[in-house]
């Protein structure tokens, strides 16, 4: 029995040394990141290409959750939690409720397809953008150095409410204007 345990122990030690040689934890982290990035892109395409607007809204919710998982995978836990709570929860529910409150007899005609040429052009522009972003990421001479974040929430709150208070308030006013515009569009011009 000791001989079998010794062989198992040797096999495990060999596997751990091999994993350390090939830096498997970093490969797993990169794999998880690219998995959620691919899912986010897939669901974002679903937002554009689904014919039913409710399905598009649910795909948008899935995109928000995948982006939150991306934040969590890079160590930005606060941003991931805010992404899930604000976008994955509140904004997605608000969008679905706004869709349900608008009066439509048939939801299938709410997001009509524009044709193959528009889809090919959109795919081409998206591909060029992704190719450009990949080229910048690969050939960039600048590399970010890892910095200890500690507790990021107080630092982020300090920056938002001191140094960046004007952009923060401009975004709040922009969101208010968007909400008023959505209410006016949902109400309709003939219901005044």
What's the rounded Cα separation, in Å, for the pair 16 and 36? 27
Break the chain into its structural domains and give their ranges.
1-103, 152-192
Half-sphere exposure of 48 (CA within 13 A, CB side): 13
92-101 and 165-187 helices, crossing angle to 10°: 20
The span from the first CA to the last CA of the chain, in angstroms, equals 86
Q: What is the pLDDT at residue 111? A: 53
pLDDT score at 12: 78
CA 160, distance to chain mean position in Å, is 22
CATH of 1-103, one of 1.20.120.1200, 1.20.1250.20, 3.40.50.720, 1.10.10.10: 1.20.120.1200
Q: Which of 45, 46, 54 is nearest to 110 (CA)?
A: 54
Are the C-beta atoms of residues 111 and 51 closer than 8 Å to each other? yes
pLDDT the model gives residue 142: 60
**pLDDT computed for residue 89 by the predictor:** 79
Instruction: Determine the Cα–Cα distance for residues 43 and 60; give it in Å rounded to an integer.
Output: 7
What local confidence, expressed as pLDDT, does residue 22 receive? 75
| The predicted structure's pLDDT at residue 189 | 53
Per-residue pLDDT of the chain (192 residues; tens, 9 = 90+): 778 778 877 887 777 777 777 777 777 888 888 999 999 999 999 988 888 877 888 888 899 999 999 998 888 888 888 888 888 777 777 777 777 777 565 555 555 555 677 778 878 888 887 787 777 767 766 665 555 555 667 777 777 778 877 877 888 888 888 888 777 777 765 555
Three-state secondary structure readout of the chain: CHHHHHHHHHHHHHHHHHHHHCCHHHHHHHHHHHHHHHHHHHHHHHHHHCCCHHHHHHHHHHHHHHHHHHHHHCCCHHHHHHHHHHHHHHHHHHHHHHHHHCCCCCHHHCCCCCCHHHHHHHHHHHHHHHHHHHHHHHHCCCCCCCCCCCCHHHHHHHHHHHHCHHHHHHHHHHHHHHHHHHHHHHHCHHHC
pLDDT score for 37:
93
């Amino acid at each position: 029995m000791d001989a079998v345990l010794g062989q198992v122990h040797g096999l495990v030690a060999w596997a751990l040394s091999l994993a350390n040689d090939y830096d498997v934890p970093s490969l797993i982290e990169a794999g998880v990141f690219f998995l959620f990035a691919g899912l986010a892109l897939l669901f974002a395409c679903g937002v554009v290409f689904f014919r039913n607007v409710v399905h598009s809204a649910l795909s948008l919710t899935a995109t928000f959750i995948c982006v939150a998982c991306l934040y969590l995978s890079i160590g930005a836990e606060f941003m991931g939690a805010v992404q899930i709570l604000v976008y994955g929860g509140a904004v997605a529910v608000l969008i679905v409720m706004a869709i349900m409150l608008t009066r439509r007899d048939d939801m299938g005609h709410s997001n009509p397809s524009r044709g193959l040429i528009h889809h090919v052009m959109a795919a081409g522009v998206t591909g060029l953008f992704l190719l450009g972003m990949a080229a910048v990421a690969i050939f960039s001479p600048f590399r970010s150095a890892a910095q200890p974040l500690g507790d990021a929430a107080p630092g982020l709150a300090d920056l938002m409410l001191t140094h960046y208070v004007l952009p923060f308030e401009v975004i709040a006013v922009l969101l208010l204007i968007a909400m008023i515009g959505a209410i006016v569009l949902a109400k309709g011009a003939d219901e005044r």
